[in-house]
């Protein structure tokens, strides 16, 4: 028999949340001891200085342990270049993907990023970006990609994955199954990418397929809708893409994350109950909610309700919890 408390623990461990503030404040304590999130994600609003950030991350991790939770995942988008939450002058500069010329450069970036994050008690980087922006195309990702050729993106991405893991940081590749051929911003609205499954296989999926072989720790789903694959749901809410394509066809057995579910591509079109029902149906492991404590609370409550009403969701959740626990074990390995 599955108790209400067991359902709550499983639901909480399938949420990673952002928060406001630079200290272990009431909101952050709520996320840890009431929701029981698997992890937190940091933004510029949470970062003032190296000393403050170390105290925040160490304090959050210690508080999670005191609340009876396993190791807290502490994530950040530290791609380098234009997307870096730890920035000069307080932190060292990291070059962005377009500035890296070869795999040696990529490994150097990864080593520097890993050292920088590890010193702050951060254990997960939402990188590398494995999107491919075609030549002569005004891609929304043109300033964040490793190149215009899938094979180059694959080589560079694998080098970053190796370097981050060697440095004790969990890499999360994004944005599956690829948003390099889009021009609209999913932070604002829901883009469509009208390409055939065959075209996706020959182009966008190559870096992700190779990242899986390299042992990437996590994969983040995009908020793009791919009408030729699933005309109803964006990738982050799609059973066809998350379960059937990523897990069954590509054989990925690691942790799958949504992108931020408060972005316009999702929040403009779906309510939180519908969103969490889709996350469960798609067998996606972690729902990423980056902004609002109230939305995180609603997501937790609706996930609990869906799991209570449908025992199949509880059984599937057990698989997700095992994958998340295995990831935390890697994060806890001595370096």
Distance CA 39, CA 70 (A): 10
How many whole angstroms separate alpha carbon 243 and alpha carbon 249? Answer: 9
Distance CA 229, CA 314 (A): 27
Where do the structural domains in the chain lie, given as residue ranges? 4-331
Residues 6 or more apart in contact with residue 174 via CB below 8 angstroms: 126, 127, 128, 129, 130, 131, 219, 220, 222, 259
Q: pLDDT for 211-268, tens place per residue?
A: 999 999 999 999 999 999 999 999 999 999 999 999 999 999 999 999 999 999 999 9
Q: Based on the number of CB atoms within 10 Å of its own CB, is 271 exposed (0-12), middle (13-18) or buried (19 or more)? A: exposed
Active site residues: 187, 259
- In this prediction, residue 8 carries a pLDDT of 94
- 193 touches 182 (CB < 8 A): yes
pLDDT tens string for the chain (335 positions)? 579 889 999 999 999 999 999 999 999 999 999 999 999 999 999 999 999 999 999 999 999 999 998 899 999 999 999 999 999 999 999 999 999 999 999 999 999 999 999 999 999 999 999 999 998 888 899 999 999 999 999 999 999 999 999 999 999 999 999 999 998 778 887 889 999 999 999 999 999 999 999 999 999 999 999 999 999 999 999 999 999 999 999 999 999 999 999 999 999 999 999 999 999 999 999 999 999 999 999 999 999 999 999 988 999 999 999 999 999 998 766 55
pLDDT computed for residue 335 by the predictor: 55
pLDDT of residue 1: 57
How high is the pLDDT of residue 207?
A: 98
What pLDDT is recorded for position 190?
85
Residue 187 confidence (pLDDT):
86
**Which among 90, 95, 88 is positioned nearest to 113, based on CA atoms?**
95
SS (H, E, C) 253-273: CCEEEEEECCCHHHHCCCCHH
DSSP string, 51-105: HHHHHHHHHHHHHHHHTT--PPEEEE-EEETTEESS-TTTS-----GGG--SHHH
Q: Report the alpha-carbon distance of residue 163 to residue 70 in Å, rounded.
A: 25
- Of residues 44, 48, 51, 49, the one with CA closest to residue 18: 44
**CATH architecture classification, 4-331:** Alpha-Beta Barrel (3.20)
């Amino acid at each position: 028999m599955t108790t209400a408390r067991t359902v709550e623990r499983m639901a909480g461990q399938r949420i990673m949340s952002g928060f406001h503030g630079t200290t272990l404040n009431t909101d952050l304590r709520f996320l840890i001891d009431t929701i029981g999130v698997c992890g937190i994600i940091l933004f510029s609003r949470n970062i003032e200085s190296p000393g403050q950030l170390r105290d925040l991350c160490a304090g959050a991790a210690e508080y999670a342990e005191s609340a009876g939770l396993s190791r807290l995942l502490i994530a950040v988008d530290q791609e380098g270049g234009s997307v870096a939450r730890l920035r000069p002058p307080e932190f060292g500069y990291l070059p962005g993907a377009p500035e890296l010329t070869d795999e040696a450069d990529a490994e150097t970036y990864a080593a520097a990023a890993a050292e920088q994050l590890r010193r702050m008690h951060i254990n997960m980087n939402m990188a590398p970006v494995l999107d491919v922006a075609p030549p002569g195309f005004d891609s929304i990702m043109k300033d964040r990609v490793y190149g215009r050729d899938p094979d180059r993106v694959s080589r560079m991405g694998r080098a970053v994955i190796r370097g981050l893991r060697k440095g004790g940081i969990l890499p999360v590749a994004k944005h599956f199954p690829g948003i390099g051929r889009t021009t609209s911003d999913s932070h604002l609205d829901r883009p469509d990418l009208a390409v055939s499954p065959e075209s996706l296989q020959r182009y966008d999926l190559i870096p992700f397929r190779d990242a899986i072989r390299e042992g990437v720790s996590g994969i983040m789903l995009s908020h793009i809708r791919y009408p030729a694959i699933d005309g109803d749901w964006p990738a982050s809410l799609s059973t066809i893409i998350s379960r059937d394509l990523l897990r069954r066809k590509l054989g990925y057995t690691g942790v799958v994350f949504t992108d931020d579910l408060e972005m316009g591509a999702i929040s403009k079109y779906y309510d939180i109950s519908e969103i969490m029902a889709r996350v469960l149906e798609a067998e996606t492991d972690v729902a990423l909610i980056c902004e609002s404590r109230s939305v995180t609370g609603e997501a937790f409550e609706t996930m609990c309700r869906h799991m209570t009403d449908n025992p199949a969701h509880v059984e599937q959740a057990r698989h997700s919890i095992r994958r998340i626990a295995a990831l935390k074990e890697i994060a806890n390995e001595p370096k």
